[in-house]
Each structure stands twice: as C-alpha cells, then as structure tokens.
Amino acid sequence: MFNKTNASKGGDFILTIETLKKIEDGHKVVTGNDLIIKAQLPVLTVQEQRLVLYMLAMVEQHDEDFKTYAISIKELKKVLEVTSQNIYKEFEKATDGLMTKLIKWIEAPYTEDEELKKVAWCSFAGVRRGLVKLRFDPALKPFLLDLKNNFTQMELRAVIRLKNHYSLRLYQFIKYWQGHYKSNSAAVQIDWLKQYLGILPTEYTRFNDFIKKLIIPAQKNIAEVTDIQFTFEAKKEPGNRKHTQIEFTWEKNPRYNQLSLFTPEMERQFLRQESEAEGGISLDQPPIEFDNPLANDLIAATQIGSEKALKLLSLHGEEIIKTAIEDLKIIIAVKKERGEDMPNPAGYFQSLLPKKGEKYQPSNYYLLHKKKEQEEKRRKEKEEKARQEAEKVRREEWLKRQYEAYIDSGIATFKATLSAEELSDSEQRAKEEVDKMDGIENLRRFGVEKTFIKSKLNQIIREKAGLPSFEEWQKQVAQNNKTKKAMKNPN
C-alpha cells in the first residue's frame, strides 16, 4: 500500500508529504469486519481519528506483525491544516488519547474474551524529534493483519476528510453492509445503533436531537467528502408510539471523483517544494499573469527599433524570438510584482538570445511557468474526464431506474396470472433460499429477513416471467429506438 522506501533504518515506517500525496491515487484502509461491526470504538477527536486512519493505511497486506509507524508532524500539519501554535502539545494530547481510550466489544464471542475486554488502539505512542510514533496494540492483530476475506476496505482519501467519530462510524457501517451483503440498504434498531456509535445512555435521549444533531450532520459530511451518499427513514413498530428502527439507503456519490484531498494552498506547498528541489524560484512570489499570443509585436515588446527587430528575426528565426519574447514578459511580470523596474528591456531581451546556431536556453522563470501551464492543462483534462464520467453515471442511473420500473410492472402483471397455490410455492421457495444464505442470523438480528425474502421472491417470479436482464433490456430499447427512427426517416 505504501512504498517500503519509507522505512527508516530503525524499522519505522515514515509517512511524509510525498506519501500523503499518493493518497489521491486511491490507497485503501482495510479493517476486519468484526472490529467494525461487533466493537464499540471509542469516541476520538478528529486528530486522534486521523492518526489511526493514517496508521491503518500504512499496514501492508502481507505484514505478519505491527511496525512502529512514524508520521512527520511538519508534513502532517500541512495536510491536516492544523493552526495551533503549540503543535507538539496538540499531538502529545492525541497520542495520550490513543493510549487511554478503550475499544469495547458489544457482541459475542468477544464480550466473553478476557484479553479483549480492555483494548486501546495503541500499545506505544509518543512525539519525538518532529515525528509522531505509534504502534497498534498486539491484541488487534486478528482484526488488522492476515484478514483473508473477512474485511472491509475504504479509500483513505474518503475517510480522512470525515469530521468526527459519528460520520466515520456510519460510513464504516454502510461500507460493511455494501461489501458484505452486496446491499444498498440496511435497517437497524436505534438502541443497537446508539451502542454501536458509542453514545452514552444519558446522551441524545430525545429522538429529534439524535436525528438533528448526529445523523443529519453525519449524512451531510459523508455526502460532501466520500464515495457514497445516503438517505434514511425512521420507523415505528406496530402499536409503538416511539421510533425503534432506522432504515438507511445509499448510492454512489457522483461528485466523489471531482473532489480533491488537498486544498489549493496545500497544492501550492507541494509545487513549491518540487520547484525549490529542482533549483527553481520560490513560489512565495505572487502568480504571473501574461499574454501568450502566437505572434507578438517584437518592437512593442522590447522597445527596440524596427531595423534592429528585423535583423534579430532574420538572425535567430521566428520560433526563438517568440520564445524569448514570452520569456521576457514573464521576467518583467516577476520584477513588477517585486516592485522592480526593467529599465532596458531591449538589452535584457538580447541577453536571453543564444549565439547563432545554438539552441535557446529558457530562464528558470520560463521553465516554472511552463510547468504550471502543463499542470493546469492536466487539471482541466481531469475535470472534463470527471464531468464525462459523472454524466455517464447519471445516464446509467436513469436507465436503471427505468429498467426497475419496467421489471416491477412485469413482475406485478405476471404475479396476477399466478394461482394462489403457485404463488404460495414461490414464496416458500424464496424463504428456503434465504434461510440458506450466509449471515442469515445477522439478517434476523437486524430485522431485515423479510426484505431479503421479498427480493428473492421477485427474482423467482422474474425468472418465471422470462423478463430480460438489464443488458438484454438495453439492447431491446436500443433496437426499438432504431426501428422508430427508421420509420420516421424511411429514406
């Protein structure tokens, strides 16, 4: 997940700004399902939460033991946009929290395991020589190492931007259901959900407060920064005046690929480091704005005489003169921003020109500008690609909604033709198939067994009715559209 060149001589894995930049490429946070769904994780501050997530992202797929993970405070401060004057004190406090706040188990068999009754995230944590150093508690090995297939993975670029514990836990819950049950909805008891979120019995006792102050803010935060967005519906059991259950329904967030982990100022930090490392000028100077016409007026640009201009064009050729004029304009703009004048632009321009027959050697100012220009071009191309992908997703989602309406109508029509005995046989078959599913006990515990039986029944009726698959339906629609078009334009 992270390149092993980040390992120091002492065996520490060091997370630097170059590694953090790679997060945009989709590095994963992988966590055992039991730790996600059967544990009550402690309520962490946003800094504590982000440190844990960075540690999880640094665990390698084939690691047999935990390492000491070292994170540069200087670089972490830039990425997390920490404004505290005493940054070391803030991270000292965060490491204390990871050593003292305990993970509690809410489901068997872990509730009966003496070794797991009190487990902190870290067995070692400290701040020294500009690094936050952390090591996971060994008791967490079964839930973070050698996970086989019993795990849930999330993109670090999504979870690292979540604002608090509740947003993260709801996101983890949804990703667990999405991955484990291949489902886009889940209904849970409110009492269980509060326990899962780590809410004390004295907190959020009024249902409206629980929804308005916790669920809705988490819903907005998840939609703003992650790959999913969800809706929810509170439900009451028959004869019960109180809400006892919440059903969550989620879908892909079409805006996600257009989001960037890094703010413009953070991107500027990266570019500044790259430029200075390559011997360029510092980007602390204000940005350069200038024209880049195909054929500038050499006389107007350099204030030289027309005869001299003609000689320079004849001697060096059009391409070199164009490049040198562009270079000069950049240098003049930089000097102007510094409050400096260019008293002799003609002389400076001629100093930029190479000897006859030699190639033009652009200034550092010119090279940096071209680099920024290319980056802007790539950014726009990336935005356009993301826009096209989002449009494709919207089109596919619209088609799926049309297909679902078509299937629902077809199922209802065919079901009306079945006898009571045929319908009863189909219902019994659906129940038997759901009973054979992995995780049936979880479905019953969450109170969603009937939902799965209904879905299975519709699948059985759909097969009997011979309704087409989504791909077959698309071909039929395309063919119908083609036929209609041909009828309108017979010639």
Question: Average pLDDT in the 437-446 region?
Answer: 80
Question: Average pLDDT in the 7-36 region?
Answer: 64
- Indicate if the pLDDT at residue 239 is higher than 90: no
Read off the pLDDT of residues 451-468 as tens digits, 9 standing for 90 and up: 888 888 888 888 888 888
Pick the closest to residue 127 from 150, 98, 84 (CA basis): 98
Collapsed DSSP state (helix, strand, coil) of residue 202: coil
Q: Are 227 and 209 in contact (CB under 8 A)?
A: no
What's residue 302's pLDDT? 76
Percent of the chain with pLDDT over 90: 27
Q: Scanning the structure block, which residue is given the tokens 């249902």?
A: 207
Instruction: Give the right CATH number for 1-150 from 1.10.10.10, 3.40.190.10, 1.10.287.130, 1.10.3720.10.
Output: 1.10.10.10
Stated as kind and residue range, the H or E segment containing 128 is: strand 122-128
Say which residue, 178 or 83, is predicted with more confidence: 178
Of the candidate ranges 65-79, 255-269, 311-325, 345-359, the one whose mean pLDDT is the lowest: 255-269
Computed over every residue of the chain, the mean pLDDT equals 80
Read off the pLDDT of residues 189-205 as tens digits, 9 standing for 90 and up: 999 999 999 999 899 99
**For residues 149 and 154, what is the distance between their CA atoms, to the nearest angstrom?**
14
Lookup: tokens for 294: 């195909």
284 secondary structure, DSSP code: T
- Indicate if the pLDDT at residue 24 is higher than 70: no
Question: Average pLDDT in the 21-44 region?
Answer: 80
161 secondary structure, DSSP code: T
Q: Scanning the structure block, which residue is given the tokens 């931007």?
A: 161
The DSSP result for 401-465, as a single string, is HHHHHHHHHHHHHHHTTS-HHHHHHHHHHHHHHHHTSTTHHHHHHTT-HHHHHHHHHHHHHHHHH
Say which residue, 256 or 242, is predicted with more confidence: 242
Read off the pLDDT of residues 381-438 as tens digits, 9 standing for 90 and up: 999 999 999 999 998 899 899 988 988 999 899 888 989 898 888 889 888 888 888 8
**For residues 95 and 105, what is the distance between their CA atoms, to the nearest angstrom?**
22
Question: Average pLDDT in the 56-67 region?
Answer: 85
Q: Scanning the structure block, which residue is given the tokens 């006389």?
A: 299
Say which residue, 83 or 363, is predicted with more confidence: 363
Lookup: tokens for 189: 């008891």
Say which residue, 130 or 374, is predicted with more confidence: 374
Task: Kindly indicate the confidence band of residue 3, based on its pLDDT and cuts at 50, 70 and 90.
Answer: very low
Topology (CATH) of 161-260 = Arc Repressor Mutant, subunit A (1.10.10)
Task: Kindly indicate the confidence band of residue 280, based on its pLDDT and cuts at 50, 70 and 90.
Answer: very low
Read off the pLDDT of residues 163-175 as tens digits, 9 standing for 90 and up: 899 999 999 999 9
Task: Kindly indicate the confidence band of residue 13, based on its pLDDT and cuts at 50, 70 and 90.
Answer: low
Hey, where are the domains in the chain?
A: 1-150, 161-260, 264-375, 378-488
Task: Kindly indicate the confidence band of residue 296, based on its pLDDT and cuts at 50, 70 and 90.
Answer: very low
Pick the closest to residue 95 from 59, 115, 71, 77 (CA basis): 71
The DSSP result for 21-79, as a single string, is HGGGGT-EEEEEHHHHHSEE-----HHHHHHHHHHHHH--TT-SS---EEEEHHHHHHH
Instruction: For the beta carbon of residue 169, count every other beta carbon within 10 angstroms.
Output: 20
- Indicate if the pLDDT at residue 258 is higher than 80: no
Say yes or no: do domains 1-150 and 161-260 share a fold. yes
Question: Average pLDDT in the 63-84 region?
Answer: 74
Stated as kind and residue range, the H or E segment containing 125 is: strand 122-128
Q: CA neighbours within 13 Å on the CB side: how many for 362?
A: 21
pTM for the model: 0.53
Say which residue, 490 or 375, is predicted with more confidence: 375
Q: How far apart are the first and last CA of the chain?
A: 59
